[in-house]
């Protein structure tokens, strides 16, 4: 239920302010009690007062609910030290194996290396960065050089601004965007992977007449997925992508989002519980395999996955 409940954190303060509230306390958007506030982004509506807003633990929220149900008055003393600082320069980290025949054509894959202050940011999203990086290292150590360039990007500033993903896109000309064969992102934790979701902006998956180019690309991805059947990670679903690759996808680049079983990610996500001990090494190695195999094959296929339907920035 994260997608349905996180809206209370994102818009709750302004919705409450519109009703006269002087502050907002939001139950942490996580399904597991770990006695840790669940942090994350929120946005103010400029039409309403900017009141203080804070996440509280599941335990505290449940206690307040019980007290209210018993008719007891709950008094809260709220002190906050949060403030906005001036922007400072940060950087994406990029490593690549240049293509042997078509180095100008690129398959980009990776995750984001920033996280919230709580926890260690392992599942969100440090493990993905290391999985992509190590996948590239394995390909290098095997002496393999794909037909196209295989690039790993560790994006910065996904969590509170997406500046890394936007800067990556903005640094490219339209021609360079069109030379991106695919963008792959892992940003759903390092639980057991099951495959990828495949999305292309502008393709209506509900249309009565299927998009022929998308369907042909989907069939190719299913063939690649079969290479990962031995680790039960061959499933390709329609629809997918990621935040960091979103700017590329909105420009027309096909996007793939690594999918996992998703059993515990939101138990730890954005909390003190997002630590290294939550990573199962075998699941991590499976993620490396998905990124390495899929990235390499997409970069080495004789034909591109599908043409990039370039979408101008002003659209």
Contact by Cβ (8 Å): 243, 157: no
| φ/ψ (deg, to 5) at 97 | -110, 110
Contact by Cβ (8 Å): 281, 127: no
- Which helix (DSSP H) or strand (DSSP E) does residue 104 occupy? strand 102-112
The neighbour count for residue 288, using CB atoms within 10 Å, is 23
Omega before 22 within 30 of 0, i.e. cis: no
Set 81, 158, 222, 303: catalytic member: 158
Residues in CB range of 152: below 8 A, 6 or more apart: 94, 95, 96, 108, 109, 110, 132, 133, 135, 136
The neighbour count for residue 134, using CB atoms within 10 Å, is 18
Contact by Cβ (8 Å): 27, 6: no
Reply yes or no on whether 158 is catalytic. Answer: yes
Q: Which residues are catalytic?
A: 158
């Amino acid at each position: 239920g994260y997608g349905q409940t996180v809206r209370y954190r994102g818009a709750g303060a302004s919705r409450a302010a519109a009703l006269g509230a002087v502050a907002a306390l939001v139950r942490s958007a996580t399904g597991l009690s770990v006695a840790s506030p669940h942090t994350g982004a929120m946005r103010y509506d400029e039409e309403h007062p900017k009141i203080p807003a804070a996440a509280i633990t599941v335990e505290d929220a449940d206690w307040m609910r019980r007290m209210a149900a018993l008719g007891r008055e709950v008094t809260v003393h709220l002190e906050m030290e949060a403030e906005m600082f001036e922007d400072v320069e940060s950087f994406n980290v990029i490593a690549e194996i240049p293509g042997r025949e078509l180095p100008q054509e690129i398959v980009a894959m990776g995750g984001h290396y920033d996280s919230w202050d709580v926890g260690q940011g392992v599942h969100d999203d440090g493990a993905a960065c290391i999985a992509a990086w190590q996948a590239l290292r394995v390909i290098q150590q095997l002496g393999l050089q794909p037909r196209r360039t295989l690039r790993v990007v560790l994006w910065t500033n996904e969590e509170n601004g997406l500046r890394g993903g936007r800067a990556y896109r903005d640094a490219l000309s339209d021609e360079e965007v069109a030379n991106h064969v695919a963008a792959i992102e892992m940003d759903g934790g390092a639980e057991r992977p099951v495959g990828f979701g495949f999305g292309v902006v502008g393709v209506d998956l509900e249309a009565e007449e299927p998009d022929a180019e998308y369907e042909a690309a989907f069939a190719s991805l299913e063939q690649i997925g079969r290479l990962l059947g031995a680790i039960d990670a061959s499933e390709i679903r329609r629809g997918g992508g990621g935040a960091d690759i979103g700017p590329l996808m909105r420009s027309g680049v096909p996007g793939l989002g690594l999918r996992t079983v998703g059993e515990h990610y939101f138990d730890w996500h954005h909390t003190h519980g997002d630590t290294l001990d939550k990573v199962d090494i075998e699941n991590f190695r499976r993620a490396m395999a998905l990124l390495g195999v899929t990235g390499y094959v997409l970069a080495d296929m004789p034909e591109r996955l599908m043409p990039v339907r370039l979408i101008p920035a002003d659209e």
